[in-house]
Amino acid sequence: MPPVAESSLEVREDFPIFARRFDGRPLIYLDSAATSQKPEVVISALTDHLRNHNANVHRGVYALAQEADAAFDLAREKIAAFTGAQRQGTIFTKNVTEAINLVAYSWGRANIGSGDAVLITEMEHHANIVPWQILCRERGATLRYLKVDERGELSLEALESELARGDVRLVAFTHVSNVLGTINPVAEMTARVRAAGAVSLVDGAQAVPHMPVDVDALGADFYGWTGHKALGPTGIGVLHARPEILDGMEPFLTGGDMISSVDFQSATWNELPSKFEAGTPMIAEAVGLAAAVDYLCALDMTRVRVHERSLTAYMLERLAEVPGLRVVGPPEAEGRGGLASFTIEGMHPHDVAELADRGGVCIRAGHHCAQPLMRCLGVGATARASVGVYNDAADIDALVAALHAGREVFGLGGS
Amino acid sequence: MDDLYRDYILEHYKRPQNFGELDPRDLEALEHNPLCGDELGVHIRVKDGRIDELRFHGHGCAISQAAASIASEELKGMELQDVGRLDADWMIELLGIPVSATRRKCALLNLKVVRGAVTGDDSWPTGSA
Ligand SMILES: Cc1ncc(COP(=O)(O)O)c(C=O)c1O
């Protein structure tokens, strides 16, 4: 008998989109690694802000503007507290992509020079590759990669020997791989990076929505994540950093709000975090994301992780029943986030996803913005199923049934 | 019977016509589908202003592989000057299945690469549909 995922968080009704029908069928959403669905509390926090409390922040003296200010400040407090970060070290960006670019431009340009090296890993999303390629090209630095082993993991020894070469100034890596699912040993890695006198940046896009994250305990100099994958709206991301390191950096985008004073020829910078938030910030989006973190806190991130881990274990077991199916990444659910990327012999991943949709199941296929990793894995693309708080074992059953049916369409036999 | 994955589509996918490489060759091009990272290349041998031999290589989904296979039969013997006039409608009609917006590039990748090899124009083919 197949194992049964012990827990369902029973929260699907909190998410209005699951009331929709597609050709009369319910929505079976297994693409939360791309973006999450939104609970009613987030949607209503956004609309309530726009209906009742909308004004620009930081400039108004009237009551409504003060409400908007208070809402924006409270949102930042909550979002910082959610990940154990400080308020002044919590900067709002458009998404995690912008958070990484901010570091590459502001910190990177001042601290990376010719002969220096930036170390990233083979499992990075393009968002954590391309900014470093550009920086290294511009500064005459070299970009090196930590290898991913057959289990889909990084090696601490390899990290140590890279650091021992003495030229590494920055190490940037993902907390959880969006393709392999691998959960990297962030604290062990940042400790080694710090000991070598280098700076660390962690891409938390696939971690913060799915497990307890305490950026202080993880010890990263920079830690970024993105709101839309964490039940929040699009248009807001977060960069956490120690205030001391931010104090020493030049601004990224410049203009209004980020200045202290502007003269005809020069300007001085506002205090943190405003120094890194040029122009009118994402006010409604921050309020929406704060509602999302409130919701996740109420669910309890430890429970969220337990739920998703058991669902992932169930998914790995059930996927193994499909003939010709090969999952990439760590073999056990313990070491992986809530996702599984896979290939099926004799079917291209795009066709797998298209046929899953015939069974009403939403999964993603492609290179998942990780083309270097695809090359290491020796595949052009994979299909990927990923879970969120609203999924349960029945969703996995529907996926597996759809994959069996898809194989039949392709005339692939029983085994 | 599936609308998209018709028997002949799957037949071409599993046993594509004119796949491989040509050496020597007169024209060649290689293209990527930016959405999925799939790759399709073509080698062409020219004789008397016509496509004499043509081989595709690369990897892709059933739609892109079947489209290349089906098109290859039509392209062999075609005058080079006619290749530049082939558009998306030609390819979609030849394929004979309803191609959704998300799969359009899969169906058109082979024509893009062939037109690129022959005319140097590597823009995506357009059509009325
Ligand atoms: C690991 C990882 N990093 C970065 C990103 C980019 O996120 P965003 O597009 O929100 O900046 C994603 C999501 O696609 C991701 O999975």
pLDDT in tens, A389-398: 999 999 999 9
CA distance A242 to chain B (A): 37
Tell which A residues from 66 to 105 touch B, by Cβ distance under 8 Å: none
What SS3 state is found at A95?
coil
Per DSSP, helices labelled H in A143-299 are 156-164, 186-195, 215-218, 243-247, 283-299
d(CA A167, CA A225): 28
ipTM above 0.85, yes or no: yes
Domain boundaries, chain A: 12-30+300-409, 43-297
d(CA A149, CA A347): 25
Please name the CATH architecture into which domain A43-297 falls. 3-Layer(aba) Sandwich (3.40)
The pLDDT assigned to A206 comes to 98
Structural contact between residues B38 and B62, judged by C-beta atoms closer than 8 angstroms: no
A129 in ligand 1 pocket by Cβ < 6 Å? no
Mean pLDDT of A219-229: 98
Nearest neighbour of B60 by CB, restricted to A348, A367, A371 = A348
Closest residue to atom 13 of ligand 1, CA basis: A34
pLDDT at A109 over 70: yes
Mutate to test the pocket of ligand 1, among A124, A174, A178, A371 (most ligand atoms within 8 A of CB): A178
Q: What are phi and psi of A383, to 5 degrees?
A: -95, 150
Residue A260, C-beta contacts closer than 8 angstroms, at least 6 positions apart: A267, A268, A269, A270, A271
pLDDT value at position A177? 98
Lowest-confidence pick of A143-152, A265-274, A342-351: A265-274
pLDDT of residue A123: 98
Task: Tell me the domains of chain B and their CATH numbers.
Answer: 2-119 (3.90.1010.10)
**pLDDT tens for residues A358-403?**
989 999 999 999 999 999 999 989 999 999 999 999 999 999 999 9
Name A93's Cβ contacts closer than 8 Å, sequence gap at least 6.
Answer: A99, A102, A224, A236, A237, A238, A239
* Amino acid present at B1: M
The predicted model scores a pTM of 0.94
How many other CB atoms are found less than 10 A from the CB of residue B47? 10
Min Cα distance A71 → chain B (Å) is 39
- Average pLDDT for A301-330: 97
CATH number of A12-30+300-409: 3.90.1150.10
Q: Is A85 in the pocket of ligand 1 (CB under 6 A)?
A: no
The answer to whether residue A65 scores a pLDDT higher than 70 is yes
pLDDT above 70: residue A219: yes
pLDDT of A1 above 60: no
Q: Does A350 touch chain B (CB under 8 A)?
A: yes
